[in-house]
Each structure stands twice: as C-alpha cells, then as structure tokens.
A and B are shown apart, each in its own frame.
Chain A
C-alpha cells in the first residue's frame, strides 16, 4: 500500500514538473513579434472593412440594432463598450479604434495598445454578434493572448525606440552602441503556449464535431462544401467526376483535425502537420473565398515555430534593412551625420554595423576580413567607456587571461579605466558563460547547469561574451554555434581561450548541426567539441572533462554552501 502511495506521489510530482516546464520555462518573445504584426494587420483589415457599412452594423437602426443585440446577449457575461457610445460618436470612436489597432501592429506602447486592442476586438465582436464567424474567433484569441506576453519586445516601434535612445547616447560620445538584450520571459512562453493549446483544442473539437455528421462518414462532405455556391469563389464542380478525391479529402480532414494535437507535439511530425493545415486553409481561401479566415488560421501556426526560426527571420530582416556588415563613419559633432548613424544603429538589431568617427583608424582583427562584433565589443572597453552591460562593478579578471585578451584584440585601444587585474577569487562558484545560439537553447542549458549549481550567464553573441570575460572571471565558456554568420566570431573567441593559458576559460563548443563541423579548433582536453543531437548529460560530461583536464576536481556530491551576495 505504501509503495502504491509512493508511486502515486512520484507520478503527481512528475506531472507537476511537466506542467511547470510546459508553462513556466522562459521563452524568447521573437515569435510573438511576428505574431503581433500578422495578427495586427488582420485586425486592422477586419475592422477597417466595418468602415464600409459602419452605420448598418453598429448604428442604432441597423442590422444589429441594440434591442436585438441586447436580447441576443441576454443572460450572458459578454460585454461591449459600443452600447455606451452615443450615435454622434460612432465614427470618431471607430477611427480611434482603428488607430489603436494600427499602433498595436507597429508595436507602439505595446503593453498598453495590446490590452486596448483586446478590448476593442471583443467589443466589436459582441456589438455585431450575428455577423461574426471563425475569423473573429481567431482574431480574438490571438489578440487576447498577445496582450499577456511581451508582444512588443521585438520587431516593434518600442524596441526601435529603446535602441534609438541607446544609440543616441553612445554615438554622441563616440562609443559603440550596444543593443539592450531582449530577455526570455515566462509571460512570452505562456502567451505562445496558450495559442498552441487553444489551436490544438479547436482542431480536436472541429474533428470530433464532424463525427456527429453523416456526410463526413460517407465521404461527401467536401463535395457539399465545394457545391455550396454562396461560398464558392472558384468552381470545384469537376470534383463530381472524381469521388475518390473528395472522399479522400473528407476523411483526411477529419483524421488530421482529430490528431492535430498529437502530431503537432512531435517535433519531427510538426512541420508536416502544419503544412497539411496550411494547405487546407489556403484551399478554403482559394475555393471558398474565405481568405481572411484561412490566413488567420495559418498565422496561429507561428506559435509553433521554434525560437531559432523566429530569430533567424529577424536576422534576415536586419540584413535586408542594413545590408552587409561594414564600417559606418560619422562625425559626432555633425547633427546630420550623427543622426544618420543613430538611425542606422536603430534599425540594426543584429549588430552588423561598426561605427567609427571620422579620422579614426579603422580597427582590424588579424585573419578576419569582415568587421567583427568582437572588435566592437573590445572597442567599448576603450578608455573610460565601459560597455553598457549590466555590471555595476568591475570585478577582476585573471591576469594572464586579461593580458592575452588585451594583446590579441585590444592592441589598438587603450584599456585605461579598467582596474588593474589581480588574482580573482574563484572559490565561491563555478561560473559558466554561454555565447551565441538561440535564446531557447541558452535557457535550456542555463536551467540544466543551474540545477547542478553552476552560475550561468548567457550572452547573445561572441562580442557580449568577450566583454563579460574581460570584466569577470569565468571557468568555462559554452559556444553555441547555430548560425553561419556567428561562426567566425565564435571561432575567434575559442582560439583566444585556447591560447589564453590557464587563466582563460575552458570551452565547450556545441555544434547545433553537423554542417558546422568545419568549426575551427580541434577538440582538446580542456577545449571540447560536441555535436547535436546529444543527451543533456553529455554536455555536463564534457564540461566536467574540461574541468578535470584543468586539474579542477569535480565533487561527486553537491557541496552545500551558502552563497554570499556578490
């Protein structure tokens, strides 16, 4: 009996852990940015179309007169602000709502406009309840869930404004602008998960409800949909001669809808499942004229997109906006020259541009033909110009490593202003720095190593990692290589560590794909290389091996220690 009880407790704990990881693992808000733009455009269009017949649907004597709507919503908790809008204010309120939806789309004051957009969408929906259909349901779920998470953290005016201010401050004083980081958050994850779960439930019920019908069993339902003249935008009557086609499509629709919640959970099946769904919705758009509904259903699939894909999309956009990596010369005293540089830095979310004041000698890195963000990071360490990271103090770095870093990449700049290095105290924690890779992978590794007691810090690229290594000691550096653009910089960082002596961190290079095996640098005792896919324990082993090679003992059991605040 006790064994059964213990098993039950274990299973409940396992389930609670599963729930906790599913909902409360911080996620990158990159996908939310794309979703906000797509959903916002659809919201603007949907509500702009009301303008063509606003009085007919929202006026006091139209199709949806208040008496009818009040009776329809009687005994319901549904609400709408339209009942409190005087007739004379119909158009001003409508234009204001459209303006707010437009601001939400571009990500302006997104925290506020996302909530207002949800209120607006629900109010329109409930004011014209007899003219709604699936499009409005999906619009509502998207805008409500986007109001929960930081949907304006990326690809938004808000983000540009933050970058603009950082660039303006930095370039006025001749420093390099450093983009503030976009944090992974729990609310981003909750937003995305709610959309995912909602769509899975929606499709499941769409499939289950079809099982009540006869035509979904006899295989003619798709034909009946095609033969509905009022929906038809392209004739599908030729299907009448190919019964096996509409039979097959009918059965596959039910099967796909019923199993969507399973197939979309499996990373390998997910792309096929989403492709099938997108094909179905594009078909609905093309043949039944419901383009808006078809498209908005496909938009929800962005929530299933891995963070790496969403971030790659942002990098692609950055490339399209600012072009290749290059130097941009500007005059800090010249208004127009400085403004141009500030605007370029604002729209350069990927750190592609290196800003040099006129008259500066352009810095180069041996063996690197392109401007490296690493160069920029080290330039930020020039006299008195601390990089705009979050450090409030400047801890000490190992002398040998510091000298190495300075001689290799800081040769062209003075490092005055940085305190003289001294032997650090490494006794308190094992400090691990993650450089590069997707935020999702960074979070996974941070959690995994954090649970083992490592102090983990994650940085988006080699440049930020170099800055942190210069001002703080780290035992190990994990280089996440998942993008060709970053490979050069990470290789450079790795080579520095390899030749940095015992003061430099040990490294573990994580190659996300076999195609990155060209990554320069051989595996050594204290500089490891690991290629995905690998078990989570493998990374811990590689780290432990690297430490062992340094002569650092790895305790077999975690040592209890009270960590003092640093």
Chain B
C-alpha cells in the first residue's frame, strides 16, 4: 500500500486512546506474529479482555440491576401477581446489596406519628415515665429519628398484624419485648408498661381555630402490654 509522505491517511480500526484517555480493560496485552505471515505483529487479546466480551457481561449485569431497581418498588401492596413474581427474580439480589428500597416517601399519604409511652416500675416502688421518641433526650436530631423509626416500625407491624397473624405478630411481640427490655435496662426497672400513642394529624381548620398540634384530643392511646424484667431475660 503506497502512501505519500506527509499526507494524512485514514486507517481503519477502533479509536485509540492514549495517555490522558486511558481506558481500563485495554485491548493490547501481548503481541504475536500475524497469521498473514508478513512478519507484522498483531495484538493478542485475552478472551475476557475483549471489549465485546466484557461489555456483554457488564451490560447484562447493568440491565439486571437497573431492571431490579425499576420493578422492585412495584411489588409493594397493592400489586399484581406479575409484580410480586418479578420481585422473586430481583428481590434476593437487591436484598443482598441492600437496595431493596420501596421509595414510597410520605406515600400513599402522610400518616400520623406513633410514639411509645412507658411506665417503668423500680425496685423501690417508684415509677418512671417517658416516651420514644423524645427530642429533649435524644440528640442530635439523627438519634431522635433513629428512635422515631423504631416506633414507626412498631406501628407498621401492629397495623400489619390485623391482616397477618403469622410473622408480623411474632415480630411485633419481639419488638415490644426489645423496647421493654431496653427501658428496664435504662432505668433498672423490675417491670414496664408500654402504650402506643398515635398523634393524629389535623385539618387546616384546626390550626385556623387556634388549636395547638399537641392538644390532648390529638392523641389516641392503645396498650401494648406489661413486661416483667425476669420474663424479658428469657
């Protein structure tokens, strides 16, 4: 092939990235004599380093990953059989990498808050009262939210219990016992009584009437149970 010196010639082949545009999984790893027998060297590329090969594998993973991110929130109730079956395909993988996120922020509707009030009885007969969460004692705000999530999860389990007598009921009982045990540990109490408190949300008219959000009428109470320290240690 003749080329005139000094004249540009187009050469076929993939774009070459040199220096600043170093691409990982570079093509050339070693050289071998060309099969054409003309003495020229041609790059020998290991199978798994060929762009088409690794791109295929990476693309398959990317597709599965993104597909999982897209379909997994659909499995949250209400959902179809198809949506729940798709969860079976992607759920274990997403759980493993902790990306099984529902993404239902403040949905379907912003709901009331749940608090847990407790009365802890000490050995000398005195009683200590308190609640979770309590922004006076749980600082910084992130720690307050950690406690808040505990009570919100408890509410979620309690509400789910109405529909599911199995796992949710078992989890709810374990959760209540865990809270009761921690209260006993905090105060050195011999027994504790837990109460679920739901802080209802009010319409704008409530505020327009000059009523505070913390008005006693806005709180609904439901007993969660009484736990003795001796039982909680089992």
Q: Complex Cα distance A19/B60, Å?
A: 11
Q: Complex Cα distance A555/B12, Å?
A: 13
For window 80-112 of chain B, which residues contact chain A by CB distance below 8 Å? 92-93, 95-110, 112
Chain A contacts of B146 at CB under 8 A? 49, 53, 57, 128, 131
- Fill in one digit per residue for B38-71: 1 if any A CB lies within 8 Å of its CB, else 0: 0011010000000000010011001001100110
CB atoms of A63 and B107 under 8 A apart: no
Additional A-B contacts beyond A205-B103, A552-B7 (19; CB < 8 A): A61-B181, A63-B182, A65-B174, A67-B174, A68-B178, A122-B98, A126-B98, A135-B145, A137-B101, A181-B20, A184-B23, A206-B104, A228-B201, A229-B113, A425-B5, A454-B10, A456-B21, A554-B8, A565-B40
If A206-B103, A428-B9 touch, whether A240 touches B115 (CB-CB below 8 Å) is: no
Tell me if B18 is interfacial: C-beta within 8 Å of chain A. yes
Chain A contacts of B108 at CB under 8 A? 209-210, 212-214, 216
Tell me if B214 is interfacial: C-beta within 8 Å of chain A. yes
Chain A contacts of B16 at CB under 8 A? 450, 455-456
Q: Complex Cα distance A481/B200, Å?
A: 60
Tell me the nearest residue of chain B to A236, going by C-beta. B207
Tell me if A439 is interfacial: C-beta within 8 Å of chain B. yes
If A57-B146, A292-B142, A547-B8 touch, whether A63 touches B19 (CB-CB below 8 Å) is: no
Q: Complex Cα distance A122/B97, Å?
A: 7
Chain B contacts of A1 at CB under 8 A? none
**17 A-B contact pairs sorted by A residue (CB < 8 Å):** A49-B143, A68-B174, A68-B175, A144-B97, A183-B20, A185-B23, A205-B102, A216-B108, A237-B207, A390-B19, A425-B5, A427-B3, A429-B9, A454-B8, A456-B21, A457-B19, A559-B11
If A197-B66, A214-B109 touch, whether A561 touches B148 (CB-CB below 8 Å) is: no
* B contact residues vs A (CB 8 Å cutoff): 1, 3-25, 31, 40-41, 43, 55, 58-59, 62, 65-66, 69-70, 73, 76, 78, 92-93, 95-110, 112-113, 115, 133, 140-150, 153, 167, 170-171, 174-175, 177-179, 181-182, 185, 199, 201-208, 213-214
If A133-B149, A240-B208, A554-B8 touch, whether A456 touches B18 (CB-CB below 8 Å) is: yes
CB atoms of B11 and A561 under 8 A apart: yes
Q: Complex Cα distance A456/B103, Å?
A: 45
Q: Complex Cα distance A205/B115, Å?
A: 28
Q: Complex Cα distance A71/B9, Å?
A: 69
* A contact residues vs B (CB 8 Å cutoff): 19-20, 23-24, 26, 45-46, 49, 52-53, 56-57, 61-65, 67-68, 71-72, 74, 76-79, 121-122, 125-126, 128, 130-135, 137, 140-141, 144, 181, 183-187, 190, 194, 197-198, 201-202, 205-206, 208-210, 212-216, 220-221, 223-225, 227-233, 237, 239-241, 243, 246, 289-292, 389-390, 425-430, 439, 442-443, 446-447, 449-460, 475, 547, 552-555, 558-565
Chain A contacts of B1 at CB under 8 A? 559-561
If A390-B19, A565-B31 touch, whether A220 touches B204 (CB-CB below 8 Å) is: yes
CB atoms of A215 and B98 under 8 A apart: no
Chain A contacts of B208 at CB under 8 A? 240-241
Tell me the nearest residue of chain A to B43, going by C-beta. A565
Q: Complex Cα distance A558/B12, Å?
A: 7
Chain B contacts of A475 at CB under 8 A? 8
Chain A contacts of B102 at CB under 8 A? 205, 209
Q: In the assembled complex, how far is the CB of residue B2 from the closest CB belonging to chain A, in whole angstroms? A: 9
Chain A contacts of B110 at CB under 8 A? 215, 221, 224-225, 228
If A23-B62, A26-B23, A140-B99 touch, whether A430 touches B55 (CB-CB below 8 Å) is: no
Chain A contacts of B15 at CB under 8 A? 446-447, 449-451, 456
Query: Which residue from A65, A187, A221, A553 sits with its C-beta under 8 Å from B7?
Result: A553
Query: Which residue from B12, B95, B109, B133 sits with its C-beta under 8 Å from A221?
Result: B109
Tell me the nearest residue of chain A to B70, going by C-beta. A201
Q: Complex Cα distance A26/B24, Å?
A: 9
Tell me the nearest residue of chain A to B139, going by C-beta. A52
Chain A contacts of B103 at CB under 8 A? 201-202, 205-206, 209
Query: Which residue from A52, A202, A239, A555 sits with its C-beta under 8 Å from B204?
Result: A239
